[in-house]
C-alpha cells in the first residue's frame, strides 16, 4: 500500500455516484470491469493485460472499491507490475494494493479493505456480469453480514452523461472513422474482396490514431457481414460499418459506397434511409422523452412500401456499445427500455441507425452519432452520408 494523489483529482463526478448509490441503497461498490475501471481512473488500462486477462492458472482482476460519500477512502487492487504505472502518476486514490497474482488474492485484498472502513457495509454493489464466481465466493465468506447485489445499472447511469472532454473524444473518434471510410472507398472498387477492404479500413483507422475494433462489410444483396473472400462486382453497393476506439471511446458509424455514379433508384433508397435518420434527430433535446426518438421513424416505416425490409434502432454510445440511454426493447440487441419514458439529459450520446435490406439492390444503411446538447443536438462526423464514389 502507498499514498498517491488526494481525491481532489478524481476524474468522475463523485457526487453523482453518491446520489445513485443512495437511490439504490448501496454502502459501497466494488468495480471489476475494465471499462468502468478505465472510466473511474480517467482513461487508465494496464498495458500488460491489454490483450488477455489470463495469467498462469488464474487471471488479472483489477478491483476499485468506492464507499458512498468517502472518495478519500477509495482503494485500487492491482497487479505487482502496476507499480510502474504508479511511478508515472496514473492513480488518484489514497490506497493502492499491488501484491496480487490470482483471483483469490485480488478478492481477499478487497475484503480486507472493506473490513477496515470502520463502518459496516450492509449492501455491497458489484458488477455481477464481470465478477468471477470464485471472487464472489470470497466476498460472501469475508463479508457475511453484507448483502451483495448487482450494481451494473448504477455504474451505467454514472457514465450516461458525458463531460465536455468525453464529448470531444467521441467527436474525434467519429470523424476519424468517417475519414477512414472515405479513404477506403477511394482505394477499392470492382474486384476487391471483403478481406482487402477491411484490411485497408483497419490501416486507415490505425493511421489516424484509432484502435480498430471491428469492420462489418456488406457487398450487394449479401446480408452476411463477416470478413470473407467475397468480391465486389460492378453495380453492387458497399456498406462500411465500423467501430474505431479513441482513448477508450467508440466511434461507430456506417457509410455507403458505389463504383461510379449511382442510379436514381439507389439515390431514392438512400434518401429514404436518410429521411428516417433525420426524423429521429428532430425531437432530441434536454428534457425530451427518450422514446420520442422512435416516433418519427416509426411513422415513416409504417407508410413506406419498403417497411418489411426496413429496420430502425437508436441506442447509447460511449465507452461501451449500446450503453445508456436505452430507448427501446425492440432492438436487435434487446434490453429493457429504461429511458423510453425518461427525459434525455445534455451530454447523452445516441447512435441512430437505419437499415434497408433490399432484396435486389442490397444492404443500404446509415449510422450516425448524435449528442444531446443544451440547445438540442449535434451530430459527430456528419458527412460522407451520400453515395461515396469508389475507385472504378
Considering the chain, tell me which residue range(s) the CATH 3.90.230.10 domain(s) occupy: 164-389
Nearest Cα neighbor of 108 from 68, 74, 65 is 65
Cα torsion at 136, 139, 142, 148 (round to 10°)? -110
**pLDDT computed for residue 5 by the predictor:** 36
Is the model more confident about 332 or about 55?
55
**Residues 8-36: tens digit of each pLDDT:** 689 999 999 999 999 999 999 999 999 99
Instruction: Give the pTM.
Output: 0.93
Q: Does the domain formed by 164-389 have CATH 3.90.230.10?
A: yes
Helix%, strand%, coil% for the chain, nearest 5: 35, 25, 40
Please state, in angstroms and rounded to a whole number, the distance separating the CA atoms of residues 159 and 348. 9
Banded model confidence at residue 330, pLDDT cuts 50, 70, 90: confident
Exposure letters 312-324 (e unless 16+ CB within 10 A, then b): bbbbbbbbbebbb
Please state, in angstroms and rounded to a whole number, the distance separating the CA atoms of residues 324 and 153. 9
Rg (CA), the chain: 23
**pLDDT computed for residue 180 by the predictor:** 98
**Residues 282-295: tens digit of each pLDDT:** 999 999 999 999 99
Please state, in angstroms and rounded to a whole number, the distance separating the CA atoms of residues 125 and 145. 14
Using an 8 Å Cβ cutoff, are 210 and 244 in contact? yes
| Number of helices and strands in the chain (H, E) | 10, 17
**Residues 167-206: tens digit of each pLDDT:** 999 999 999 999 999 999 999 999 999 999 999 999 999 9
C-alpha cell at 149: 447485489
* Helix residue ranges, H only, 259-379: 264-281, 295-303
| Domain with residues 7-159, CATH architecture | 3-Layer(aba) Sandwich (3.40)
Alpha-carbon separation of residue 173 from 187, 252, 383 (angstroms): 21, 8, 14
Over residues 324-352, the mean pLDDT reads 90
Over residues 331-345, the mean pLDDT reads 88
Banded model confidence at residue 162, pLDDT cuts 50, 70, 90: very high
Please state, in angstroms and rounded to a whole number, the distance separating the CA atoms of residues 331 and 55. 37
- By the 10 Å C-beta count (0-12 exposed, 13-18 middle, 19+ buried), 264 is classed as exposed
**pLDDT computed for residue 335 by the predictor:** 84
**pLDDT computed for residue 76 by the predictor:** 98
Place of cell 449510422: 367
Please state, in angstroms and rounded to a whole number, the distance separating the CA atoms of residues 237 and 257. 6
Q: Could you count the other beta carbons within 10 Å of the beta carbon of residue 130?
A: 17
- Tell me the average pLDDT of the chain: 94
**pLDDT computed for residue 4 by the predictor:** 32
Over residues 91-120, the mean pLDDT reads 94
**pLDDT computed for residue 333 by the predictor:** 74
Strands (E), 93-157: 95-97, 123-126, 147-150
**Residues 255-307: tens digit of each pLDDT:** 999 999 999 999 999 999 999 999 999 999 999 999 999 999 999 999 999 99
Please state, in angstroms and rounded to a whole number, the distance separating the CA atoms of residues 27 and 19. 11
Question: Does 7 have pLDDT greater than 80?
Answer: no
Considering the chain, tell me which residue range(s) the CATH 3.40.350.10 domain(s) occupy: 7-159
Residues of the chain with pLDDT > 70: what percent? 98
Amino acid at each position: 500500500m502507498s499514498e498517491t494523489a488526494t481525491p481532489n483529482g478524481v476524474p468522475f463526478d463523485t457526487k453523482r455516484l453518491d446520489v445513485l448509490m443512495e437511490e439504490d441503497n448501496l454502502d459501497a461498490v466494488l468495480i471489476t470491469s475494465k471499462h468502468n475501471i478505465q472510466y473511474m481512473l480517467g482513461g487508465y488500462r494496464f498495458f500488460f493485460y491489454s490483450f488477455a486477462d489470463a495469467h498462469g492458472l488464474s487471471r488479472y482482476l483489477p478491483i476499485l472499491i468506492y464507499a458512498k460519500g468517502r472518495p478519500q477512502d477509495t482503494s485500487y487492487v492491482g497487479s505487482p507490475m502496476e507499480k510502474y504505472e504508479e511511478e508515472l502518476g496514473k492513480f488518484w486514490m489514497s490506497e493502492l494494493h499491488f501484491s496480487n497474482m490470482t483471483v483469490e488474492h485480488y478478492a481477499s485484498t478487497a475484503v480486507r479493505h472493506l473490513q477496515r472502513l470502520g463502518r459496516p457495509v450492509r449492501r455491497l454493489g458489484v458488477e455481477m456480469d464481470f465478477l468471477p464466481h470464485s471472487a464472489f465466493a470470497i466476498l460472501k465468506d469475508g463479508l457475511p453480514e453484507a448483502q451483495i447485489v448487482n450494481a451494473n445499472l448504477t455504474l451505467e447511469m454514472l457514465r450516461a452523461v458525458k463531460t465536455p472532454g468525453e464529448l470531444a473524444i467521441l467527436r474525434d473518434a467519429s470523424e476519424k472513422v468517417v475519414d477512414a471510410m472515405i479513404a477506403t472507398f477511394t482505394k477499392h472498387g470492382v474486384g476487391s474482396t471483403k478481406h482487402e477492404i477491411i484490411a485497408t479500413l483497419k490501416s486507415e483507422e490505425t493511421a489516424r490514431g484509432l484502435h480498430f475494433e471491428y469492420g462489418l462489410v456488406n457487398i450487394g444483396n449479401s446480408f452476411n457481414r463477416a470478413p470473407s473472400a467475397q468480391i465486389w462486382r460492378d453495380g453492387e453497393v458497399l456498406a462500411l460499418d465500423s467501430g474505431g476506439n479513441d482513448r477508450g471511446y467508440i466511434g461507430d458509424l456506417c457509410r455507403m459506397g458505389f463504383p461510379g455514379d449511382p442510379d436514381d433508384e439507389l439515390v431514392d433508397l438512400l434518401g429514404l434511409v436518410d429521411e428516417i435518420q433525420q426524423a429521429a434527430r428532430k425531437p432530441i433535446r434536454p428534457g425530451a422523452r427518450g422514446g420520442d426518438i422512435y416516433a418519427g421513424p416509426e411513422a415513416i416505416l409504417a407508410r413506406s412500401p419498403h417497411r418489411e425490409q426496413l429496420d430502425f434502432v437508436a441506442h447509447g454510445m460511449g465507452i461501451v456499445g449500446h450503453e445508456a440511454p436505452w430507448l427501446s426493447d425492440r432492438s436487435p440487441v434487446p434490453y429493457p427500455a429504461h429511458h423510453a419514458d425518461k427525459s434525455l439529459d445534455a451530454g447523452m450520446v445516441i447512435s441512430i441507425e437505419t437499415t434497408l435490406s433490399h432484396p435486389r439492390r442490397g444492404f443500404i444503411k446509415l449510422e450516425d452519432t448524435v449528442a444531446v446538447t443544451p440547445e438540442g443536438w449535434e451530430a459527430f462526423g456528419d458527412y460522407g452520408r451520400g453515395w461515396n464514389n469508389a475507385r472504378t
